Amino acid sequence: MEWRADGILIALRRHGESAAIVELFTAEHGRHLGVVRGGASRKMAPLLQVGAQLDATWKARLSEHIGSFTVELRQSRAAEVLDDRTALAGMTAVCALLSFTLPERAPYPALYARSVALLDGLGAEKWAEAYLGWEMALLEEMGFGLDLSACAVTGSTEELVYVSPKSGRAVSRGAAGEWVDRLLPLPPVLRGEPSTPRDVSLALQTTGYFLTHQLAKSLGDRPLPAARQRYVDLISRADSQPKPRAPRHGV
Residue 163 — φ and ψ, nearest 5°? -125, 135
Per-residue pLDDT in tens (0 to 9) along the chain, 251 residues:
999 999 999 999 999 889 999 999 999 999 999 999 999 998 898 899 999 999 999 999 998 899 999 999 999 999 889 899 999 999 999 999 999 999 999 999 999 999 999 999 998 989 999 999 999 999 999 999 999 999 999 999 999 999 999 999 999 999 999 999 999 999 999 998 888 889 999 999 999 999 999 999 999 978 999 999 999 999 988 765 544 444 343 32
Residue 103 located in a structural domain: no
Distance of CA 188 to the CA centre of its chain: 20
Same domain, 129 and 66: no
Residue 70 located in a structural domain: yes
Last residue of a domain, one of 54, 78, 102: 78
> For position 242, what pLDDT does the model report?
47
Same domain, 34 and 139: no
> For position 222, what pLDDT does the model report?
87
Last residue of a domain, one of 11, 43, 78: 78
* H-helix or E-strand spanning residue 233: helix 226-240
Same domain, 131 and 43: no
Q: What is the Cα–Cα distance from 48 to 52, expressed in whole angstroms?
A: 7
> For position 176, what pLDDT does the model report?
96
Q: What is the Cα–Cα distance from 8 to 74, expressed in whole angstroms?
A: 10
41 CB neighbour count, 10 Å cutoff: 14
DSSP string computed for 135-201: HHHHHHHTT---EEEEETTT---SSEEEE-TTT-EEEEHHHHGGGGGGSEE--GGGGT----HHHHH
> For position 130, what pLDDT does the model report?
96
Same domain, 50 and 131: no
R_g of the chain computed on alpha carbons: 21
DSSP state, residue 211: I
* H-helix or E-strand spanning residue 57: strand 53-59
Judged by DSSP in three states, 224 sits in coil
Helix, strand, coil percentages in the chain from 3-state DSSP, rounded to 5 = 40, 25, 35
Same domain, 74 and 133: no
Q: What is the Cα–Cα distance from 177 to 181, expressed in whole angstroms?
A: 9
Same domain, 166 and 224: yes
Last residue of a domain, one of 57, 78, 99: 78
Domain that holds residue 22: 2-78
Residues β-bridged to residue 69:
58
Residue 198 located in a structural domain: yes
The domain total for the chain is 2
